[in-house]
Chain A
């Protein structure tokens, strides 16, 4: 048997992204979508904030900034400002950029840590060009050969317009839509799915099913696959989410630690994440059950997005994980009938990735210092081995261990660790080769160059308005 028919179930960003990307990159497949409305807890479909990987995903599809950003009314974002996570410490911005270059055999992080331990280093995030821009409310696309040559940026999506763009794109590349409500799932003798029954009695069948229906996993959830529960590490189990557009937004969100979780204020949305056991927050709560499927791909069903991994939106990984699953599925699409070995390899990678994202989110809690029962509870939890090892090695000597399937790069880990005032006990001996005065000069130069480069830049709103003007003039 060969793989010819693929059915995507789910009509949010995740479903349309899956259908569009697979059809675009493997045109010979017949791709059909059953666009069920995404439920409130499908965070990949609901959270407007995205990571830089969203642009790579667009690029693979051949969607440029004009279509993805300007025509959909999306905004650029450079990072997130974290406030109040460590009492008495400054706030910090986690942006997607390098903080400095190593000198000789000494990595930059060790040089900065040495300066910080001796008490005369500027804040770590002031050495990130993107963080400095974000704080100043300014934005340009990376370029040139100065300090603004290279950094990552994500998007704040206008979800209805963005979804409409994806739908149009999917139809354009040949995805077939099928309207209806899901009434039943039929299984085959192997335990996979034989077909779907709709409310009007229609039956839909395919060789491979992509479940993009959110945490309920209306297809994958019928297969009896095990799940690992992360609640003991990530106790936040309620989310409040509101649309709240700001007139002249910053290219970042503010994420503020609260008594029993955190709240955020973004350019178009705001909300809060909290632990119901530790109090409540006004607004309609959406339940969150942090955890991951142990086999997101089983038989002929692949769970994508929240159907595979449910995690709170801190650090905005939800849509990223969905995109990553789509890319992984495309590179592992079976040539013939789906085979358990391919599924096993896919699952190994997917789970390793999900656990490291969990570690990164958990890092914020594990290194936070606040004095309420919620924060005591999260600080007191036993950590997963991989994060415990990471923190032990970092606290001892400022080094980060290498793991496969890492989503957040070294600079991201450093931004949070240094941002939350975690400093190594001792400095790596390789830093010896650079005299402290020389390192300080390099740090001060970078600091000054960034400040100077950022000062004349346009505000985010001005930059976006100019972009829209150009697009209209060309049209």
Chain B
């Protein structure tokens, strides 16, 4: 807009958060911002966030990126959900789908009818067999969903699994193309306005001084601006989420390129398996109070399916978040604002939500208390809901095989979560939100998948007579099975749609 002086945005830290922020601000607020991103080749990128949630598609679209190009570049695959193995007890397996159970319409949720038959002693197949998205995943098949609400293909969504180390450079190209400036360097000093306490500039290791109006802290766990300079306290959630390390090791793909991420429970945590086009990402997230780095690395090396492509690499973190993400003229995005383990692939999601909120609440000046309060309110909502959902996975278990599982099984959990669990156990109720990342089907999948089965159901599910109900369920089951068989295999679909360049 003519006459408006652009806000000088300084982003400290590249990586996924930094470049996602830079690209989105440059694309969506042209003329309003000048963007200066500082990163150092000497500081490593975490880049373990390879699995995403369906929301990422909205981000890619807003940036004006063609999905197939983006997937080819990042060697991406499709993701229909997450498979959880050995969580409720050893030997269990369930899929948390990005979709519904049943057809997802009707007044009463499908799982109430399923519960009614189960409690009546009817021999009814597992709940996930009534989710088209789950069954596509199990069959290693993929196709894009359809809009037609009468078709089963309207009952699921999808996300991507991609190489995060390729994602950031891809976004960098876009951001720089839109005018973002990049400076190589390390921040050695943060300068503050003596009166207001806001950040006025950062000094780099070569002595350069970079001034700005708004500072975005994408410095990762270090939280260089928000945590170190502004001393915003860290709210520690370690007692609920005791995993504080991960050992990562990519390997060659030796088995199927699944259209889902796997999260396999381990003696002191869990292991991820994320198949990409060119390799499979692996890592073991563990609690250092319950196992050593060496044992964890050994366990991971032993568990992976293909030949390792690198040595195991250990990362340290702590579950929790900064009390506020936006303080004065500093907004932390990504790990600098908080950390929740990647069990439900929420890292990139949280980055994206913070960016969306920042753009919608973009301030005019360094001092913007109205925007700041609303931003912090929105981010709080996201963190609290995800936190409870993650804790549920650990707590809902009957495992007694290690000290770690004994701890999480018996630990005190937040009241907000124990109430949710009890509501589901009594009559299959899921606490309703109008907005939020994990809606009804996600909670149902995890509850049922980890052995929290409803002892009652919605009285309205008694309406159909039981013969008609059983027939309806059987018909749906047959339709899902038959429809899945007509869908292409995942890898074949990728070859056609978004294969990576052969030379890559």
Contacts and interface: CB of A to CB of B under 8 A. Distances in A.
Contacts of B30: 432-433
A399 B360 contact: yes
Size category of the binding interface on chain A: 35 or more
Nearest to A339: B426
B458 interface: yes
Contacts of B28: 105, 430, 433
A397 B371 contact: yes
A231 interface: no
B362 A429 contact: yes
Contacts of A28: 459, 462
B130 interface: no
B278 interface: no
Given A341-B422, A404-B433, A3 B370 contact: no
A429 B370 contact: no
Contact of A342 (B62, B429, B457): B429
B314 interface: no
B419 A392 contact: no
A345 B423 contact: yes
A334 B427 contact: yes
Given A341-B422, A430-B360, A335 B427 contact: yes
Interface in A369-390: 389
Interface string A413-443: 0000000000000101110110000000000
A401 interface: yes
A60 B107 CA distance: 9
B373 interface: yes
A3 B459 CA distance: 9
Contact of B463 (A27, A334, A393, A428): A27
B456 interface: yes
A334 B456 CA distance: 9
A244 B9 CA distance: 62
Contact of B431 (A339, A345, A389, A433): A345
B65 interface: no
B423 A392 contact: no
B419 A344 contact: yes
A399 B373 contact: no
Interface string A95-132: 00000000001000000000000000000000000000
B423 A342 contact: yes
Nearest to A105: B28
Contacts of A389: 373-374, 377
Give the residue among B62, B362, B374 with the most A Cβ atoms within 10 A: B374
Contact of B460 (A25, A349, A405, A426): A25
Contacts of A333: 458-460
A331 B422 CA distance: 16
Contacts of B462: 26, 28
Interface string B443-473: 0000000000001111110110000000000
B125 interface: no
Contacts of B364: 426
A363 B429 CA distance: 34
A396 interface: yes
Contacts of A27: 463
Interface string B56-85: 000000100000000000000000000000
Contact of B458 (A331, A336, A402): A331
Given A335-B426, A429-B32, 5 more contacts: A333-B460, A334-B456, A342-B429, A349-B432, A399-B360
